[in-house]
């Protein structure tokens, strides 16, 4: 590994999501969210969305990893590792159980004060994500999720509560986790657009059949999220001018499968729609030429109002964040198999790359490539808000887990970040997903473990929730305490 260094003020953070780790789904007045209605996947990696909670199924997010009761212990582990920041989501349903209450739930507010106070003990900076898999079930049923403009104001009421309540303590906010997922049909559920019948979810195998109206709804939801994100930025800066607003994009890094110019064009287009469609809006506050063309070509009515334009222009972001796990390829030849799972995306396998057990291809160079693409387009600071590797693990006879692949994965991505900085890019920090094992977003599995800390909890709901350090724990501690210099594994 080379002698490149990370800057002294580089931010090392841990990333988690309340809907995936909290559990306590009905405790202290919390309302139901859309994830509370999703079962753990079956042997085909398929989750089921049920409107009624069915006692024959296990709903993993009801328990999460029990962070709600163990946040002190878990933040303690993060601090011991050497993380200087934690990115977490404040759950809408903990503060406004249905999304429509007049006043916030005081027990919900207290919980987040407790978390922030715990972070302060260790001098860790809180970074808050305001929407991460926690759309209130009630609003999904009543309004059809984000496709209804009235949801914008309801969300802003929640945001205002948070920003006002934690004024002085929290200086970085992000509106929506991976807002670009709505560019694909799979994103509808996350946008709270839920059919009135039970259905299956499998992000690799089930491509939702969309009618024109479904597509309209999905792009209306995306537009409404753009407006909400912009209004949040404007409002937060009015409440506290020191606040910085980030935008979070699921970093899709797509290469052409071959040098055939048609494949190169296909790759360019595949990056335009999920990545730059939203990137251009978040940074420049407008739909780019290809975004407009995409809407026109697909006859999409996204419900944009003339007065939105000014708001979108004013509420742009200060820093760009990506959740980056893997890359994929694309071919212009439709007969080439789409056999490569990426995070909420399907592509074609790259013959030069290895993959995780879940088929996500490991590609640290892709991180460097993507950061260069982003910085070249936008020139604003970048933060890696999620990166990590999920693996099926179990405790060995020494009550630990041997996870050398995790060390290798992280070391390569840290090395890539040094190159990113050496390329001249303003990279602010790196947040690892996720320091403590938690429930997978895509499959609902606990078996897909990302942590440095093993949680004794399993896909049938069994286990004590006790925590055990994996072998990577001490290694990561050494990495963080050397500011990423000692990457030997
Ligand atoms: C990101 C989500 C996270 C997290 C991660 C890993 O897209 O923001 O919530 O879950 O992906 O994905 P998974 O849990 O499906 O392995």
| Atom 5 of ligand 1: nearest residue by CA position | 441
Side-chain-side CA neighbours of 446 within 13 Å: the count stands at: 26
Q: Report the pLDDT value the prediction gives residue 2, as an integer from 0 to 100.
A: 55
Pick the residue whose CA is nearest to atom 2 on ligand 1.
441
Is 199 among the domain residues?
yes
Query: Of the candidates 463, 455, 470, 477, which has an alpha carbon nearest to the alpha carbon of residue 74?
Result: 455
pTM (predicted TM-score) = 0.97
Between the CA of 441 and the centroid of ligand 1 the distance, in Å, is: 5
Q: Flag whether 220 is in a domain.
A: yes
Atom of ligand 1 nearest to the CA of 448: 16
- Does residue 334 sit within a domain? yes
Q: Report if residue 4 sits inside a domain.
A: no
Count of domains forming the chain: 1
CB-CB neighbours of 123 under 10 Å: 9
Task: Give every CB contact of residue 479 below 8 A, 6+ residues apart in sequence.
Answer: 410, 411, 414, 486, 487
Mutation pick for ligand 1 pocket among 35, 88, 343, 439 (CB with most ligand atoms within 8 Å) = 343
> 394 C-alpha to center of ligand 1: Å?
20
Cβ < 6 Å from ligand 1: which residues? 17, 20, 177-178, 250, 323, 343, 386, 390, 433, 440-442, 448
Q: Which atom of ligand 1 lies at the shortest distance from residue 250's CA?
A: 7
Residue whose CA is at the smallest distance from ligand 1 atom 15: 442
Question: CA–CA separation, 421 vs 8, rounded Å?
Answer: 12
142: Cβ contacts below 8 Å, ≥ 6 apart? none
Instruction: Output the CA 323–ligand 1 centroid distance in Å.
Output: 9
6 lies in a domain? no
pLDDT given for residue 202 in this prediction: 86
C-alpha neighbours within 13 Å on the C-beta side of residue 92: 29
Q: What is the pLDDT of residue 431?
A: 98
Q: Which two tokens stand for residue 428?
A: 């602010």
- Encoding tokens for residue 137? 């079930």
Which are the catalytic amino acids?
178, 386
Task: Tell the residue number behind the tokens 């109206």, with chain if given.
Answer: 213
Residue 136 Cα distances to 31, 38, 124, 368, 426, angstroms: 7, 13, 29, 36, 36
Cα–Cα distance for residue pair 402/174, rounded to 1 Å: 35
Q: Which residue range is the domain that position 117 belongs to?
A: 11-481
> Ligand 1 mean position to 20 CA, how many Å?
9
Instruction: Give bridge partners of residue 11 from the DSSP assignment.
Output: 429
Distance 145 CA to ligand 1 centre (A): 21
Number of CB atoms found within 10 A of residue 247's CB: 26
Does some domain include residue 486?
no
We report the CATH number of the domain holding residue 370 as 3.20.20.80
> How far is the C-alpha of 390 from the C-alpha of 228, rounded, in Å?
32
Q: 215, 221 in Cβ contact below 8 A?
A: no
Look at residue 487 and tell me if it is in a domain: no
C-alpha 360/C-alpha 354 separation (Å) is: 8
- Answer whether residue 298 is part of any domain: yes
Q: Tell which atom from ligand 1 comes closest to the C-alpha of 439.
A: 14
- pLDDT tens, residue order, the chain (489 aa): 558 999 999 999 999 999 999 999 999 999 999 999 999 999 999 999 999 999 999 999 999 999 999 999 999 999 999 999 999 999 999 999 999 999 999 999 999 999 999 999 999 999 999 999 999 999 999 999 999 999 999 999 999 999 999 999 999 999 999 999 999 988 999 999 999 999 999 877 777 788 999 999 999 999 999 999 999 999 999 999 999 999 999 998 999 999 999 999 999 999 999 899 999 999 999 999 999 999 999 999 999 999 999 999 999 999 999 999 999 999 999 999 888 888 778 889 999 999 999 999 999 999 999 999 999 999 999 999 999 999 999 999 999 999 999 999 999 999 999 999 999 999 999 999 999 999 999 999 999 999 999 999 999 999 999 999 999 999 999 999 999 999 999
């Amino acid at each position: 590994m080379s002698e490149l260094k990370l800057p002294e003020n580089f931010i090392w953070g841990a990333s988690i999501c309340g809907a995936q780790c909290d559990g306590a789904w009905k405790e202290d007045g919390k309302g139901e969210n859309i994830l509370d209605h999703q079962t753990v996947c079956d042997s085909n990696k398929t989750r089921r969305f049920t409107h009624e909670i069915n006692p024959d199924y296990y709903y993993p997010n009801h328990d999460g990893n029990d962070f709600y009761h163990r946040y002190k212990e878990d933040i303690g582990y993060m601090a011991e590792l050497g993380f200087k920041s934690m990115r977490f989501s404040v759950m809408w349903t903990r503060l406004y159980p249905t999304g429509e209450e007049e006043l916030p739930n005081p027990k919900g507010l207290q919980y987040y004060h407790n978390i922030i106070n715990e972070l302060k003990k260790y001098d860790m900076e809180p970074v808050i994500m305001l929407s991460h898999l926690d759309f209130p079930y009630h609003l999904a049923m009543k309004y059809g999720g984000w496709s209804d403009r009235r949801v914008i104001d309801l969300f802003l009421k929640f945001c205002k509560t948070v920003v006002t309540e934690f004024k002085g303590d929290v200086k970085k906010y992000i509106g929506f986790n991976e807002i670009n997922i709505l560019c694909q049909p799979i994103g509808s559920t996350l946008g709270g657009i839920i059919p009135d019948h039970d259905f299956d979810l499998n992000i690799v195998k089930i491509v939702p059949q969309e009618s024109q109206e479904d597509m309209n709804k999905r792009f209306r939801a995306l537009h409404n999220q753009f407006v909400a994100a912009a209004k949040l930025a404007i409002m937060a800066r009015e409440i506290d001018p020191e606040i910085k607003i980030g935008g979070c994009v699921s970093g899709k890094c797509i290469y052409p499968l071959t040098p055939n110019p048609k494949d190169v064009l296909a790759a360019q287009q595949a990056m335009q729609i999920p990545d730059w469609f939203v990137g251009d809006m978040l940074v420049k506050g407008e739909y780019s030429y290809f975004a407009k063309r995409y809407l026109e070509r697909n006859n999409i009515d996204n419900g944009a109002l003339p007065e939105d334009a000014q708001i979108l222009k004013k509420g742009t972001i200060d820093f760009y964040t990506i959740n980056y796990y893997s890359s994929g390829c694309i071919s212009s030849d439709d007969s080439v198999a789409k056999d490569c799972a990426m995070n909420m995306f399907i592509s074609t396998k790259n013959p030069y790359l290895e993959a995780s057990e879940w088929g996500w291809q490991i590609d640290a160079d892709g991180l460097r490539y993507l950061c260069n693409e982003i910085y070249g387009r936008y020139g604003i600071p970048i933060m890696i808000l999620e990166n990590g590797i999920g693996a099926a693990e179990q405790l060995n006879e020494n009550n630990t887990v041997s996870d050398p692949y995790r060390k290798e994965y992280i070391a390569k991505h840290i090395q890539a970040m040094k190159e990113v900085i050496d390329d001249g890019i303003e990279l602010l920090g790196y947040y690892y997903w996720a320091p403590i094992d938690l429930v997978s977003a895509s499959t609902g599995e606990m078996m897909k473990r990302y942590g440095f800390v093993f949680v004794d909890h399993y896909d049938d709901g069994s286990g004590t929730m006790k925590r055990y350090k994996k072998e990577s724990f001490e290694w990561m501690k050494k990495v963080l305490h050397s500011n990423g210099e000692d990457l030997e594994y």
